[in-house]
Amino acid sequence: MSDAEQPTDDGVPGDDEFEPIQVFPEAEDMDLRPGADDCYKCSTCDTNCPVAEVDDEFPGPKFQGPEQWRLKRQDDRDIDDSVMKCSNCMRCDSACPSDVPLSQMHNTARGEYVEEQMEKFSREYVRNRILANYRRLAPLGSMFPRTTNFVMGLSATQWLGEKVLGITGEREFPEFATETFREWWTARGGAQVRNEDKRIAYFHGCYSNYNTPEVGKALVRVYEHLGYEIMVPDQHCSGTPMFANGMLEDARRSAETNVRELGAAIADGADIVASCSSCSMSLRQEYPELFDFEGTEEVAANTWDAVEYLRVHEDLEGELEGTSVGDEFENFAYHAPCHARNQGLDGQTMEVLAPIDGVEARDVGDSCSGISGTYGWKAENYETSMKIGDEMFDHMEDADAETGLTECPTCSMQMEHGTGYEITHTLEVLEAALVGTEADSQ
Ligand code: SF4
Ligand code: SF4
């Protein structure tokens, strides 16, 4: 395991300041960090909330968090159903100058709302459960990927999805890969490099496994090029879509598996790296905030974003100096996902790409893409989601680039949907620069 220290700026979860306390002794599930009562009503969180900015009916994070907690403390009030309109982008967390644990409050309130107030046979509950548990459905879809892609691509399927389940028919379902990342990993015989001094365990998440295995392959090729031994532990969904839909028991089951498997990899000397910014966010911040089982803190403290890890542990600038990526692939419009911003990673991609010869990248600004995982897939949120994304779409078009770039799978869906850009992942650019576009099929 690496002894390099995790970054310690305020936006980075896993910070040693975290110390859960019992603010409401009578309510056993409601642990909060110190600061729950530190809200001084400055409304900075509200002005940074992308949903509140475009949806006048959404009361905003100040109400969802500290005000609702205070109300509940006074009497036994129900959770306001507007908590389901929070997209879980977590921008309010980094905006608050008083370290109020807003997203932890939202996640806890949402879990309580779904558990105690939501009708379990309602269309909304069934739809949310399906969206939150993509990992359970994806293996079925990827058994016959071409057939699934054909059926899911039919306009009749999209129409039915909206009418029956309330999943918007405006978006095209992401395609399943014909070979999952894990199938590829097994077929190549697993790790090709052995190095007990440089060992990482890859948390690929659901999307890189079932839909974009090229991202996982890029990670493997880049890390092996730099001499790392790679482990690919058994894993479940990180839990991000479950938190966003208030399915905390589903998230707990996934988290237990992940913490057990990743904890074993840490014991074998590995650090954990994730290619999806929401997955690293979940392992670093949401697990220790919401779960108390053994190992969550250790996993959080040893988890890294895949590019961040290389910046800290390698001379990445030196490795990239003088490399190139081919002139078909060098002009990018970059969007930093909210969950990367929340980990203090918003500037890193632009810095990392700078030494590559010929690469031009424009950061399209700090606005939210608007899709926020499953939020923008719900028919009732589609228009709000696109309104939030408008600023990013405009900046992408102004960038006049060839390719969009981001580290979040659902941001990439929204970027492609709103602009028609083809989208790639930063690891794929690093792969092209360090290993070459003619990377062997391994
Ligand atoms: S930003 Fe923080 S202190 Fe200000 S209103 Fe929101 S929760 Fe309260
Ligand atoms: S998590 Fe995002 S959508 Fe939810 S209240 Fe905070 S800023 Fe608004």
pLDDT tens-place string over residues 185-236: 999 999 999 999 999 999 999 999 999 999 999 999 999 999 999 999 999 9
Closest atom of ligand 1 relative to the 66 alpha carbon? 7
For ligand 2, atom 8, which residue shows the shortest CA distance? 49
Q: Check whether 437 has a pLDDT greater than 90.
A: no
Assign 3-state DSSP to the chain and report helix, strand, coil percentages, each to 5: 50, 10, 40
Q: Check whether 34 has a pLDDT greater than 60.
A: no
To the nearest 10°, report the CA torsion of 161, 166, 170, 176.
-50
Provide the residue type at 58 as one letter. F
Rounded-to-integer distance, Cα 85 and Cα 82, Å: 5
Answer whether 255 contacts ligand 1 (Cβ < 6 A).
no
Average pLDDT, the chain: 90
Mean pLDDT of 324-343: 92
The topology under which CATH files domain 21-116 is Fumarate Reductase Iron-sulfur Protein; Chain B, domain 2 (1.10.1060)
- Of the listed ranges 19-33, 64-78, 118-132, 355-369, the least confidently predicted one is 19-33
Q: Check whether 11 has a pLDDT greater than 50.
A: no
Mean pLDDT of 262-274: 98
Position 228 scores a pLDDT of: 98
Q: Check whether 329 has a pLDDT greater than 90.
A: no
Q: How many CB atoms lie within 10 A of CB 34?
A: 14
- Of the listed ranges 282-291, 319-328, 415-424, the least confidently predicted one is 319-328
Q: Which two tokens stand for residue 37?
A: 């009562």
Rounded-to-integer distance, Cα 38 and Cα 55, Å: 26
Nearest ligand, measured from the Cα of 95 = 1
CA 242, 200, 203 angle in degrees (round to 5)?
Answer: 15
Answer whether 86 contacts ligand 2 (Cβ < 6 A).
yes
**pLDDT confidence band for 240 (50 / 70 / 90):** very high
Report strand pairing: 21-22 vs 31-32: antiparallel
Q: Check whether 424 has a pLDDT greater than 50.
A: yes
Q: Check whether 168 has a pLDDT greater than 60.
A: yes
- Report the separation in Å between the CA atom of 96 and the middle of ligand 1, taken as the mean of its atom positions: 5
Q: Check whether 35 has a pLDDT greater than 80.
A: no
44, 49, 53, 342: residue to mutate for ligand 2 pocket, most atoms within 8 A of CB: 49
Question: Do 429 and 359 contact (CB within 8 A), yes or no?
Answer: yes
Position 8 scores a pLDDT of: 45
- Report the separation in Å between the CA atom of 41 and the middle of ligand 1, taken as the mean of its atom positions: 5
Percent of the chain with pLDDT over 90: 82
Chain segment 388-403, per-residue pLDDT in tens? 999 999 999 999 899 9
- Report the separation in Å between the CA atom of 159 and the middle of ligand 2, taken as the mean of its atom positions: 29
Long-range contacts of 102-106 (CB under 8 A, 24+ apart): 102/45, 102/61, 102/64, 102/65, 102/66, 103/285, 103/286, 103/289, 104/32, 104/33, 104/286, 104/289, 104/290, 105/32, 105/36, 105/64, 105/65, 105/66, 105/68, 105/69, 106/61, 106/64, 106/65
The topology under which CATH files domain 316-434 is Rossmann fold (3.40.50)
Position 21 scores a pLDDT of: 47
Phi, psi of 40 (to 5 degrees): -115, 25
Chain segment 346-404, per-residue pLDDT in tens? 999 999 999 999 999 999 999 999 999 999 999 999 999 999 999 999 999 999 899 99
Q: Which two tokens stand for residue 237?
A: 């969904």
Position 70 scores a pLDDT of: 75
Position 327 scores a pLDDT of: 75
Answer whether 62 contacts ligand 1 (Cβ < 6 A).
yes
**pLDDT confidence band for 442 (50 / 70 / 90):** low
Rounded-to-integer distance, Cα 357 and Cα 73, Å: 58
Chain segment 88-142, per-residue pLDDT in tens? 999 999 999 998 999 999 999 999 999 999 999 999 999 999 999 998 899 999 9
Contacts of 382 (CB under 8 A, 6+ apart): 168, 170, 171, 376
- Of the listed ranges 39-43, 313-317, 384-388, the least confidently predicted one is 39-43
Mean pLDDT of 300-312: 98
**pLDDT confidence band for 1 (50 / 70 / 90):** very low
**pLDDT confidence band for 12 (50 / 70 / 90):** very low
Answer whether 91 contacts ligand 2 (Cβ < 6 A).
yes
83, 84, 85, 90: residue to mutate for ligand 2 pocket, most atoms within 8 A of CB: 90
What's the chain's length in residues? 442
Please check whether the two domains, 21-116 and 316-434, share a CATH topology: no
Task: Choose between 136 and 268: higher pLDDT.
Answer: 268
Helices within 271-314 (DSSP H only) = 277-281, 287-290, 296-301, 306-313
Mean pLDDT of 180-189: 98
List the chain domain ranges. Answer: 21-116, 123-165, 181-313, 316-434
Q: Check whether 2 has a pLDDT greater than 50.
A: no
- Of the listed ranges 28-37, 58-67, 240-249, the least confidently predicted one is 28-37
Position 25 scores a pLDDT of: 47
Say whether 321 sits in a helix, a strand or coil: coil
